[in-house]
Structure 1
Amino acid sequence: MQSIEIAPDARKEAVRIGRSKHDADRVLQCVREIAESAAFRNSQRSGQFLIYIVEQAIAGNFDALKERLIGIELFGRSATYDTGEDAIVRVTASDVRKRLLQYYGQFGEAMEWRVTLPRGCYIPELIHSPQHDKPDTGGTFASTAIEEVPAVAETPQATTAALSHVEALTGRSPLKQGTLTLAIAVTCFASALLTFSGCWFWLGHTTSGSQAPPVWAGLLDPHQPLRIITSDPNIAEIQGLTGQRITVSDYANHRYIPDPSKVSPVSLVFANNILRGDKVAAVDASIVADVAATAQRYDTDVLVRTARAIQLSDLATDGNYVVIGSPLTNPWSSLYLANADFRFAREPSGREYIEDIKPETGEKPQYTPSALGFATGQSLAIVAYLRNPDHRGHVLVLAGLNGEGTEAAGQFAVDAHRMEEALRGCGYTSGREVGNVEILLQLNMMAGLPSHVVMLSCHQLQY
């Protein structure tokens, strides 16, 4: 799994807390309350993990907060165990993040101390909320928030969900105070899935006024919002259930079952039940959080809409967009990938793969995943940065063959260092404006988590 560097201030804060018996006791008390709450009730392992990493952090033992050492010290693995084969630490860390989302969605405003675990690392960030006794959502939470982002996993197994409409416009003033908490309320009603009821993101500093990295420089405009269009996870189920492909024209005209006469009455009723409500994939929530945090650094507002809430006229305008999901889960992405080199295609069985219509030396004409979502194997994803067709602005498409792939694409795109490396590999030099470009990614999957994400190819698109 890709690692990220924690801000030195986060380490300093943990050490400072450890030197104050009062603060250390209060933090540990808060953490134990979280570990004993309903959010962690069904996972003793996750609760122990949370307490362990916080104890080590405030003790200043940051070297102990590495995957192998945690596996050895907390989970009793041998000193030579293979972290590539045994993902217990990564899986538990992911579960802890999800349970923290649930907990803070219910009790976050009343907590004196908050704990967050950034993706790709095991060093917690400890944040003090001095107004905990007088909750004030305008002070503690930034105005960058999604009122209700109900989520279901981007997999065929997620059958029904009750979700509400998503639309939020972000504000910028909290960043000028020095920190940002991104609140995303997430609810998931599916028997095989965890329930999310809140999400928040913290930044240690703002970089307002500095030059945005390549790609983002073309997407972020302080004078207009960055529009994010989340996927429609159940639309893939409908296509699998009915055997009918939904084109972007069908989707735009709300023909989610193009030919009902060819669908059995039972399947038709089931399909209509699936289509109730407006839905967002669980992985989209984390992507929205990361993209919104990036946008906030450069004083750009964010507007989030679900795919099903979009009309074709909404896209026929100037502006910058982030479109999440492949054409199977977000038909709007096919509008922008129609002339791309890497495209999503389907086998007669319905299984998706990625075809390269202009393979360069050493490339294959098609790339097929070795496993479906929530399995162990390899998958693929696309990051495409394109000019907004016939309009001013740019579009960033983040799409995978499954939820893990889409999540990997999102993580890759917000990682400025990796994006710059990819662009150099595509022939772009520093300071040169980025044109239409498409990046093909390969990732490993284990227990629903993407890891070892590598760039297979990068094409400059000539159109």
Structure 2
Amino acid sequence: MQTLQSSPTIDADLSLPPPKIGDVEVRGRREDPRWQLAMRIASSRSLGRSRLMADFLLYVVDRHIRDRSEEITEQQIGVLVFGRTEGYDSNEDNIVRSYARNLRKRIEDYFAGEGSDETIRVDIPRGGYIPIFSTAPAKSAATPSEPDDETGTIDDLSADGAEVAPAAKEAQEEIRLPQQHQTKRSDDAAAGSWFLTAKEALRGRLALTALCVSLSIGLLAVLVPLLRRLPEYAHAHADQALSHALWAHMFTNERDTFIVPSDDGLVIMQGVTERPVPLANYLDGSYRTKLRTDQVPGTPELLKLGRRRYTSVVDLDFVAHLAQLNEVVPARMMIRYARDLRIQDLRTGNAILIGSIEANPWIELFQPQMDFSFSIHPGSDIPSGIVNSHPRAGEAAIYGTPQSDHTYGLIAYIPNLNSTGHVLIVGGLNTAGTEAATTFLLTPSLMKPTLQRAKAANGGLQPFELLVGAGNVATNASTPQLVVERIGLP
């Protein structure tokens, strides 16, 4: 039986204090090679800066090593690692399963890259969360192929490398003989042969000429339309190159990119109660508690609505388009429901926040550094719209939607909370406004002028904000148009 040993090339730092997950101290067994391996993976580049993913791995390894595998359940992990309340409904809140999928991928990346020299490996099989340890397969050294003992001269091989048969070799030799050693034909036969050869050659030349003329005509028929559209192709390529610069900043190997669709259940809830939900109340859940305290009519149904996870088809369509971008790094693309996002994610990662502040309260953190901001007042006489903090000549102070046939959307590219990454806010005053913003952003020809002006001297992009407008036809947006643009931070 083989004994698991730690890798001699990568050692865990045993001087560090045991990590804590919430109020639970994770001790493991420090001398155990399995614990040392888990510590190396948790601090590796493959896991990035995801503290929750590292806590997840360390928790399940610790409980497994200490023979407490009965504590490795979705419910326990949700409570102890992700801070969920006791008895939460894991069917509605699938954060553990979501993180488990990403953790399995990150572990594979570790062993394929920086952990390729590990002598033991760990896997978390699908269908559960109990880790399995095994010895890493030994690397087999490549054996150089032995040269063939039987070699032949070039004359003994045909053009494709096959050995030439004796009869063929004789024919080759005959071909190589000087002309004077071959049997002379009679003068008449030679003359007749010459006439036939000349006639055949003439036919061949005529056929070849006809073929060339036909090919030339066909080639011109193909090339002329292509040449006419060459400027169009050149413009399309330039548009794509500028869009590539934007998406290459949003999706990188260095950090996770969190895509956060709107919480439409929250929007419905605010519309019924006519109460806005600030970010602080959204995070601690107090907006639901207050409904019970104030005995709002229909509270049980409203609370169900607040717990459910709804988002719009527009958001899902946008996420589907993002996933198909060439610049996406699949292992670094994280789709998070708004309630599952953590403020640390917006400090260290990139993020794409979809919807208005009413549907995605995280936008509240970034509005102070923006020229344009959402101002939503359900059930109030105060007009709702997108506020222009510093209106210029010809610009309005607020862009609202008093008419049902027009809407506005907002696109903002700004630094994350630590200015180490980027946040892209894409939303609108309603579903049609968000659709207008996403359509504009995903159309390279529409984004080209702004991206050209936002291009920095170092090749990067300056922050920018775009206010777009569109017709609203049965909650669907018509072709969006740029209304106001801002380049650089206010």
| TM-score with structure 1 setting the length | 0.51
2:370 counterpart residue number: 340
2:356–2:427 Cα contact (<8 Å) kept: yes
Quick one: distance in 2 between partners of 1:217 and 1:352?
Answer: 34
Q: Deviations over 1:239-276 (max 9, x none)?
A: 22222221111111122347336744423223112123
Matched letter for residue 454 of structure 1? Q
Q: Deviations over 1:34-65 (max 9, x none)?
A: xxxxxxxxxxxxxxxxxxxxxxxxxxxxxxxx
Change (3 A) 1:262 1:456: farther
Change (3 A) 1:287 1:384: same
2:406 counterpart residue number: 378
How far did residue 409 of structure 1 move? 1.4
Alignment of 1:6-405 (within 5 A): 165=94, 167=98, 213-257=244-288, 259-260=290-291, 263-294=294-325, 301-315=332-346, 317-347=347-377, 348-349=380-381, 352-371=384-403, 377-405=405-433
2:476 counterpart residue number: 449
How far did residue 229 of structure 1 move? 0.9
Quick one: distance in 1 between partners of 2:431 and 2:459?
Answer: 33
Identity %: 24
Q: Deviations over 1:115-149 (max 9, x none)?
A: xxxxxxxxxxxxxxxxxxxxxxxxxxxxxxxxxxx
1:145 counterpart residue number: none
* Higher RCO, Cα 8 Å, sep 6+: 1
- Equivalent residue of 1:278, what SS? coil
- Equivalent residue of 2:413, what SS? strand
Change (3 A) 1:266 1:393: same
How far did residue 433 of structure 1 move? 2.4
2:486 counterpart residue number: 459
Q: Deviations over 1:415-453 (max 9, x none)?
A: 2332122334x5647975212211001011212321120
Quick one: distance in 2 between partners of 1:450 and 1:431?
Answer: 36
Change (3 A) 1:419 1:320: same
Change (3 A) 1:396 1:225: same
- Equivalent residue of 1:329, what SS? coil
1:235–1:256 Cα contact (<8 Å) kept: no
Quick one: distance in 1 between partners of 2:400 and 2:317?
Answer: 26
- Equivalent residue of 2:348, what SS? coil
Matched letter for residue 465 of structure 2? E
Change (3 A) 1:297 1:260: closer
Matched letter for residue 391 of structure 2? P
Larger relative helix fraction: 2
Matched letter for residue 342 of structure 1? F
How far did residue 163 of structure 1 move? 6.6
Matched letter for residue 384 of structure 2? E
What stretches of structure 1 of length at least 5 have no aligned partner? 1-161, 173-209
1:238–1:257 Cα contact (<8 Å) kept: no
Change (3 A) 1:234 1:221: same
Q: Deviations over 1:192-213 (max 9, x none)?
A: xxxxxxxxxxxxxxxxxx8862
Larger relative strand fraction: 1
> Is 1:433 equivalent to 2:465 in the alignment?
no
1:369–1:380 Cα contact (<8 Å) kept: yes
| TM-score with structure 2 setting the length | 0.48
1:416 counterpart residue number: 444
Quick one: distance in 2 between partners of 1:346 and 1:286?
Answer: 24
Quick one: distance in 1 between partners of 2:326 and 2:285?
Answer: 31
Change (3 A) 1:300 1:407: farther
Quick one: distance in 2 between partners of 1:340 and 1:448?
Answer: 27
